[in-house]
Amino acid sequence: RKEVEQDPGPFNVPEGATVAFNCTYSNSASQSFFWYRQDCRKEPKLLMSVYSSGNEDGRFTAQLNRASQYISLLIRDSKLSDSATYLCVVNIGAAGNKLTFGGGTRVLVKP
């Protein structure tokens, strides 16, 4: 089993719709969680950190479920420019000494 798993998608989303997807992690001692966005043939860019109480940044909402060991990302009012691969990033290990990237979830927003 991979340490960080994501549904690769693609999620085909009509413009203006809401899309949500999860990322599961295997190590219950993980402390830090992030969502990155990666456009085709570009470098990953930090989208948002994920806090224990959940957090929102504009149209993006991130949630953490420690009991079930997953984080989620919800995108409201999807824009064409939201089309990208969304990478889940988790620190693995009690000492917080390693960041592991998931394989990414591809989102395609269509008019």
Partner 1 sequence: EADIYQTPRYLVIGTGKKITLECSQTMGHDKMYWYQQDPGMELHLIHYSYGVNSTEKGDLSSESTVSRIRTEHFPLTLESARPSHTSQYLCASSEGGWGNQPQHFGDGTRLSIL
Task: Return residues touching partner 1 (CB under 8 A).
Answer: 31-32, 34, 41-46, 49, 87, 89, 91-93, 95-99, 101-104
- What is the Cα–Cα distance from 30 to 101, expressed in whole angstroms? 13
**Nearest to partner 1 of 18, 52 (CB atom):** 52
CB of 106 to partner 1, least distance (A): 9
Radius of gyration of the chain (CA): 13
**Nearest to partner 1 of 18, 49 (CB atom):** 49
Burial of 4 (0-12, 13-18, 19+ CB in 10 A): buried
**Nearest to partner 1 of 13, 87 (CB atom):** 87
CB of 102 to partner 1, least distance (A): 8
- What is the Cα–Cα distance from 23 to 31, expressed in whole angstroms? 15
